[in-house]
Structure 1
Amino acid sequence: MRTVFAASSLTAMLALAPASPTFSQTPRPSDSLERPFASGGHVHLDLSAGEYTIQGSADNRVRLEWSVRNPERLRRVRARADIRGSDAWISLDGPDNGGLRVTVYVPRRSDLDVDLSAGELRIEGIEGNKDVKSYAGEMRIDVGRVDDYRSVEASIWAGEIQAAPFRASKEGLFRRFDWTGAGRYRLRASLWAGELRLYTNDDQPR
């Protein structure tokens, strides 16, 4: 009975996550926001449902670029970036089922704290501590050099964990894995339902 209930819950929660977009040549309404921010800081992100890429950059700034399916929905996107010393606080709230697609650029050397309600999340090219949480959807994290990590924790309530760099693969209900090393950074990734993948450039996700 528990398995049936959990499977039903997973189906319902994945329905909350936005569907993968169908790409076309039609330009999408877009906007952006930028703030100066030094390398080596801590970036906190509070994100509503959507499709996100958080990308490391050589620039000393944070920059948000977002688009939606139509102009009427663009004005309903609320983006904010507050800089307080070595901390950047970023929040983004978009319309439900608006096809929100966002790229966030941060300095390549940054610590991340990400809280995403649901959707698709990809983190690439960032060196530092990472604490990432999402309710439902797909999470892909480029971990860079395995030797850089002191500890790695990944957990999922229902779904799949693939972490080839750490020789871990889990599938089903209430799955998690823990790994310890000699590096300086910590990685924690938590997803309630969906797919969680940790990879390196030598193990690109398909």
Structure 2
Amino acid sequence: MKKTALIVFTIGLAVLLWAVPASAKEVVRSFRQQIPVGSAGSIHLDFPVGELRVEGWDGRQVDLDVQIVCNHSSSRCESAAKALRLVYNAAGGQLEVKIKDWPHWGGTKGLNVNATIHVPRNLPLKTDLGVGSLTIQGIAADVTADLGVGEVHVNLPQEAIGSAAIDTGIGEASLSAGGRRYSSEGLIARQINWDKGTGRARVKVDCGVGEIHVTLT
């Protein structure tokens, strides 16, 4: 009973944070930029709350189309949005892109990110999202995704992938690969581990509460 209450509370909180009809949202700021990868050997994307779509492409840049959205117009939300910074750092051989100066927990309700990001398909990708919806597709290298609460959808080329590890603490997980579908769901979902691929890349997806769906095609 306590676990069920936790699910309802957590998912309800996530809905308050980001799941609002598009007509109710107001774009307060936009970032449009291309960042050269240079000598970086991997990409790390780190975003707090919202909808994040990551697509692999043939370019040698990270292409950013980021909108900062207020679910309901208010001076408090707009002020918080204007204080945010989109920063990147290529130290240590990894290109990291993140939002800085996000308000502390409970500081501003309804503030979230709506982003579409193109990354080089052959570079390893690590993506962190606190709450929301994460979609990753077209990457032919290692993929690591970590979501606190929400949904993850991953679609990758099967010939590039050698193994996949999927773990959702509470919720539902599925993997479609090699003509088969593997699934797990419940209050304490089991991990899905698959190692029958012919490629070299590894996929690792974690979600605290919510859903994970990985498809290799």
TM-score (structure 2 length as normaliser) = 0.80
**CA–CA distance in 2 between the matches of 1:162 and 1:39?**
35
Match of 1:20 in 2: 19
- The superposition leaves residues 148-200 of structure 1 with CA deviations (integer Å, 9 ceiling, x where unpaired) of 22221101111001212252011102321111123201111111110111124
Relative distance call for 1:190 and 1:120 in structure 2 (3 A) is same
Please state how far the C-alpha of 1:6 moved relative to its aligned partner: 1.6
Matches within 5 A, 1:1-80: 4-17=1-14, 18-24=17-23, 28-29=27-28, 30-38=30-38, 41-67=41-67, 68-69=69-70, 72-80=79-87
> What is the DSSP-based 3-state SS (H/G/I as helix, E as strand, rest coil) of the residue aligned with 2:22?
coil
Relative distance call for 1:27 and 1:59 in structure 2 (3 A) is farther
**CA–CA distance in 1 between the matches of 2:53 and 2:63?**
12
* Higher mean C-alpha deviation, range 10-19 or range 171-180: 10-19
Match of 1:170 in 2: 184
User: What is the identity percentage for the equivalent residue pairs of Structure 1 and Structure 2?
Assistant: 24
**Paired amino acid for 1:179:** W
> What is the DSSP-based 3-state SS (H/G/I as helix, E as strand, rest coil) of the residue aligned with 2:4?
helix
Is 2:153 the counterpart of 1:140?
yes
Contact 2:40 2:95 in 1 (8 A): no
**Paired amino acid for 2:138:** G
Query: How many residues end up aligned between the 2 structures?
Result: 197
Contact 1:115 1:134 in 2 (8 A): yes
**CA–CA distance in 2 between the matches of 1:26 and 1:74?**
13
Match of 1:81 in 2: 88
Greater than 6 Å deviation, 4+ residue runs: none
**Paired amino acid for 1:81:** Y
Please state how far the C-alpha of 1:86 moved relative to its aligned partner: 4.2
**CA–CA distance in 1 between the matches of 2:112 and 2:97?**
20
TM-score (structure 1 length as normaliser) = 0.83
Matches within 5 A, 1:86-125: 86-93=93-100, 94=102, 96=108, 97-125=110-138
- The superposition leaves residues 120-164 of structure 1 with CA deviations (integer Å, 9 ceiling, x where unpaired) of 10112111101111111111111222x322221101111001212
> What is the DSSP-based 3-state SS (H/G/I as helix, E as strand, rest coil) of the residue aligned with 1:9?
helix
**Paired amino acid for 2:199:** G
Relative distance call for 1:66 and 1:73 in structure 2 (3 A) is farther
**Paired amino acid for 1:11:** V
Match of 1:204 in 2: none
**Paired amino acid for 2:123:** S
Matches within 5 A, 1:154-165: 154-165=166-177
Relative distance call for 1:22 and 1:142 in structure 2 (3 A) is same
